[in-house]
Homo-oligomer: A and B are copies of this chain.
């Protein structure tokens, strides 16, 4: 099994203006990591059809999967569904299942009428498969290898669960993290030497500051748990050699 590649496309002026902090990218990346699918690239574009179309065509052609967030609500600036239809050169319609489910939702709760604006949320490109929204009904959809989801994190996360069985899992990437309160410059030479010793285990170096102290987290990634253990042990040894005290952090999938 190979580690498959995905891209994330965030759609929305509110992210590009800095008004809203995107957290969906990190969530999707960690969630996909658990399935052995790596995110290779992420893009954020504004609510302009030509921008969305160009980005999704490029990413869809290049990666196994594309995950988009945002722009599928009921307001005039929600243009993702139309943009996806355009990107794949298909028409767009009110999906009968989505429409029926939304009718039922608005008939039952005290949440207003199923007006024209809300009906827009049932519009999906021809041939698209719905992505269920267990939280607020209005669906996402899949068109080819592109999964079109909501921007609100809780709704997006619910949609991901519906997407899970459609994905082909890859080899799960594990990792070991060893941190130390030393600057990167103290360990860079030893780290480069270890990278040569472990060419099959990519080693990353991530500076951090915590409680006013600078430190570095060294992360070894791979599929072979024994090699990861060996690399982590070698990292700890190297850190001690330059006078540091290695801090083991919980092994996390990254």
- Measuring CB to CB, which residues of chain A are less than 8 angstroms from any residue of chain B? 13-23, 25-30, 33, 38-47, 51, 73-78, 111-112, 115-118, 120-121, 151-152, 154, 183-189, 191-192, 195, 203-209, 219, 252, 254
C-alpha gap A21/B45 in the complex (Å): 19
Query: With a CB–CB cut-off of 8 A, which chain B residues contact A17?
Result: 29-30, 33, 38-39, 254
Residues of B within 8 A of A205 (CB): 73, 75-78
Contact of A19 among B38, B51, B154, B254 (CB under 8 A): B254
| C-alpha gap A195/B151 in the complex (Å) | 22
How many copies altogether? 2
15 sample A-B contacts, Cβ–Cβ < 8 Å, listed by A number: A14-B219, A15-B26, A16-B29, A16-B40, A16-B41, A17-B29, A17-B30, A41-B45, A47-B204, A73-B205, A75-B188, A117-B185, A117-B189, A120-B188, A152-B207
CB <8 Å contact, A26 and B21: yes
Interchain residue pairs A-B with the least CB separation, the first 8: A117-B188, A18-B29, A18-B30, A75-B205, A118-B185, A42-B44, A18-B26, A17-B254
Q: Closest Cβ of chain B: how far from A113's Cβ, in Å? A: 9
The answer to whether A191 touches B16, judged by C-beta atoms less than 8 angstroms apart, is: no
Q: Are B77 and A14 within 8 A (Cβ)?
A: no
A45-B42 Cα distance, complex, nearest whole Å: 7
Residues of B near A27 (CB, < 8 A) are 18
In the bound complex, how far is the Cα of B163 from the Cα of A239, in angstroms? 36
Contact in complex: A77, B204 (CB < 8 Å)? yes
Chain B CB within 10 Å, residue with most, of A19, A73, A121: A19
A17 to B34, CA, bound (A): 11
Residues of B within 8 Å of A73, CB to CB, are 184, 188, 205, 207
Give the residue of B29, B41, B44 whose beta carbon is less than 8 angstroms from that of A41.
B44
Chain B residues closer than 8 Å to A117, beta-carbon distance? 184-185, 188-189, 192
**Complex: A213 Cα to B30 Cα, angstroms:** 27
Please tell me which one of the listed residues B30, B38, B195 contacts residue A76 in the complex, with CB atoms under 8 A apart. B195
Distance (whole angstroms) from the CB of A66 to the closest CB of chain B: 14
